[in-house]
Chains A and B, each alone.
Chain A
Amino acid sequence: MADKRNEKNKIEPWRDPHAKPYIQIDNITKKFGDFVAVNNVSLKIYQGEIFCLLGGSGCGKSTLLRMLAGFETPTAGGITLDGQDMAGIPPYERPVNMMFQSYALFPHMTVEKNVAFGLEQEGLTKAEIAARVSDMLERVKLGQFARRKPHQLSGGQRQRVALARSLVKRPKLLLLDEPLGALDRKLREHTQFELINIQEDLGVTFIVVTHDQEEAMTLASRIAVMNRGEIVQIGTPTEIYEFPTTKFVADFIGSVNMFEGRLIEDLPDRVRIQSGELGGVIFVDHGISSAPGITVWAAIRPEKIDIQRTPPADARENCVRGVVTEIAYMGDMSVYLVRIDSGKVVRVTLPNIERLSDDERIQWDETVYLSWHPGSPVIVTQ
């Protein structure tokens, strides 16, 4: 039992109260004049994590990243890396490296020289540098392109050079700024897994900044969702997706249907919500902690809603009737937009498990019944 728990703690060090964080961000604030870009953010990041800062533009994630790299000085608060306070230490003296969104490859140097650049400051011999460089280039599968210049490479190759260049210094922390943004879809998927493999091989701690939730969900061991300079929720991808703590997070990740309502029954193991938006009652099979009578929102993911032509057996709760207004066929699944009696439009996705004929499939303007399992809704109070 204890063994199993220790195993789990190693993979999920944040659950262990005795674990020492590798990177500690304490009450960091950054102001530009009157504008507060980062507002009192605190984070504990553990060694070997791929930690993701996720948020829309202007949420402060890039500013936070730059403070970690040393390009901005915090207005208040401090950053500690592996026990060392980073205050006043310029970027060229930090054991931190950054992979820029534009890759920032030096256009007048070959791939080799680009990758070797960072090692020149470390007092290694020429032979050592050459060895480390060729080893890293092999690792990112660019060995034969060593003599080329950046403009002679494709986008994906340039990204790998940027990665090699930052990793060859074996930094304690690697910061990645929108690493997959410039790649096309197929390449993106492939690169995502490559990044994870490299990270596991080398054991470097990654902090990734992105606005793309798919990227975050695939790469991250933990995600911190940011909005307007503040951290809104921190958790594993599963936790963020299945158990969002606020409307913002629920809406930001994936799609969600929100039903506003009032608590009418609040017990330790179940809850009932009267929702005008739904036009009915939502029954949830777990308890929530909140004050009685307040307004809450029930967030139900589209894939967790069942859509049928006939009403379910028990149609009193967790059920609603509506008319199909839009269908989007995506190949692997279909998205249905259903207008329910209250006027609200609910989004439902169904995997296309079987090949159905047109008659069998649900069509536009059909009257349908939506229902879900009592465990599916997540209740958020803000």
Chain B
Amino acid sequence: MKKYLTFPNFMLAVGLLFLYIPIFSMVLYSFNNSRLVTVWDHANSPTLKWYAELFRNRAMLEAAWLSIRVAAMSASAAVVLGTLAGLVLARFGPFRGRALLQGLTTAPLVMPEVITGLSMLLLFVSLESVLAAFGIRFGRGILTITLAHITFTMAYVTVIVQSRLATFDDSLEEAALDLGARPAKVFFRITLPLIMPAILSGWLLAFTLSWDDVVVTQFVSGPGYNTLPMVVFSSVRRGVNPSVNALATLMVLVVAAGVVVSAVFMKRAEKKRERETRLAEAGL
């Protein structure tokens, strides 16, 4: 027991508490009857009334639907672009402009969102005036939000894919080339299937980042197009709101369920694989 009472372990426990207490408190108070959220109403709690109110809130539901659509579209496009960029940076030799590409793909990772948001908004404004000269009306809305989200989430996919390819055994690709497959075929039949887990986690990451984004979205969206984070943000600027607690609890449940399910799946697949390998080595 003594060996677990080290300083790092203590800090680890403190840190984990620090990470989870806010989440637990949010979840807890979502069942609190009082509108004051943090003042526990003993008489009438726990209650599900805020969940009901959440589902009656049309603005929130529409915003949620918009957010899901935007996140799904931008994650899918970001994965395609990010995988291409990751492939180029990990596999292609030096070419003119490589350094710039490297910079452009990883800058969004650390760039403050106000800058990205502002710059993309101004791009769309310029585009608007250019297209107006040709008589085409261009309004900001779901398209501009999606384009902006794709741009900053693809950086994350690029990093994931690039580092996965770095550890990828390239003798597999060489073997495929040697057997007569052209580079495109090698990519689609050999590389892609084997880096699929990384691509999937990239999609999930891009989805989460898009679903969650508030600053960039506020800049580039148009009137009438409110995403869920925008609605939540303007609501909580005015103070706590029990419906938001309910929303938070639902999200935590979904994420936790997803993580548990995937962990169980992966564990099972790993066990199966280990068993098969052992049997093979034993000569069966």
Contacts and interface: CB of A to CB of B under 8 A. Distances in A.
A–B contact (CB under 8 angstroms): yes
A121 B180 contact: yes
Given A91-B174, A100-B171, A100-B175, A118 B190 contact: no
B173 to A, nearest CB: 9
B281 A154 contact: yes
Given A151-B277, A151-B280, A100 B174 contact: yes
Nearest to A107: B194
Contacts of A121: 179-182, 185
Interface in A87-121: 90-93, 96-98, 100, 102, 104, 106-108, 117-118, 120-121
Contacts of B180: 92-93, 118, 121-122, 169
A151 B273 contact: yes
A308 interface: no
A165 interface: yes
A30 to B, nearest CB: 16
Chain B interface category by residue count: 20 to 34
A117 B277 contact: no
A102 B178 contact: no
Interface string B31-66: 000000000000000000000000000000000000
B224 interface: no
Contacts of A84: none
Nearest to B175: A104
B193 interface: yes
A92 B178 contact: yes
Contact of A98 (B178, B189, B273, B280): B178
Interface string B243-284: 000000000000000000000000000000100110111010
B169 A104 contact: yes
A176 interface: no
Nearest to B279: A152
Nearest to B282: A154
A92 B181 contact: yes
B242 to A, nearest CB: 49
Nearest to A150: B280
A102 B183 CA distance: 21
B177 interface: yes
Contacts, number: 78
A118 B194 contact: no
A104 B280 CA distance: 18
A264 B94 CA distance: 61
B174 A104 contact: yes
Contacts of A93: 180
A91 B177 contact: yes
A106 B190 contact: yes
A348 interface: no
A71 interface: yes
Nearest to A104: B175
Contact of A153 (B179, B273, B280): B280
B179 A97 contact: yes
A124 to B, nearest CB: 12
A118 B177 contact: no
A137 to B, nearest CB: 16
A107 B172 CA distance: 9
Interface in A144-166: 148-149, 151-155, 157, 165-166
Contacts of A120: 181
A152 B172 contact: no
A90 B169 contact: no
B209 interface: no
A336 to B, nearest CB: 40
B171 A97 contact: no
B175 to A, nearest CB: 4
Given A107-B194, A121-B181, A98 B283 contact: no
Given A104-B171, A151-B277, A153-B280, A91 B178 contact: yes
Nearest to A155: B281
Contacts of B281: 154-155
A278 interface: no
Contacts of B277: 151-152
B206 to A, nearest CB: 24
A90 B179 CA distance: 11
B81 interface: no
A121 B176 CA distance: 11
A166 B178 CA distance: 9
Contacts of B273: 151
Given A102-B171, A104-B171, A108-B193, A154 B280 contact: yes
Contacts of B193: 108
A92 B190 contact: no
A178 to B, nearest CB: 12
Contacts of B279: 152
30 contacts: A69-B178, A70-B178, A91-B174, A92-B181, A92-B183, A93-B180, A96-B178, A97-B179, A98-B174, A100-B171, A100-B174, A102-B171, A104-B175, A107-B172, A107-B194, A117-B179, A117-B189, A118-B179, A120-B181, A148-B280, A151-B273, A151-B277, A151-B280, A152-B276, A152-B280, A153-B280, A154-B280, A155-B281, A165-B179, A169-B180
Interface of B: 169, 171-172, 174-183, 185, 189-190, 193-194, 273, 276-277, 279-281, 283
Enumerate the 5 nearest inter-chain pairs by beta-carbon distance, A residue then B residue, closest first: A118-B179, A104-B175, A121-B180, A104-B171, A91-B177
Given A102-B169, A149-B276, 14 more contacts: A91-B177, A92-B181, A93-B180, A98-B175, A102-B171, A106-B190, A108-B193, A117-B181, A118-B179, A120-B181, A121-B179, A148-B280, A151-B276, A152-B280
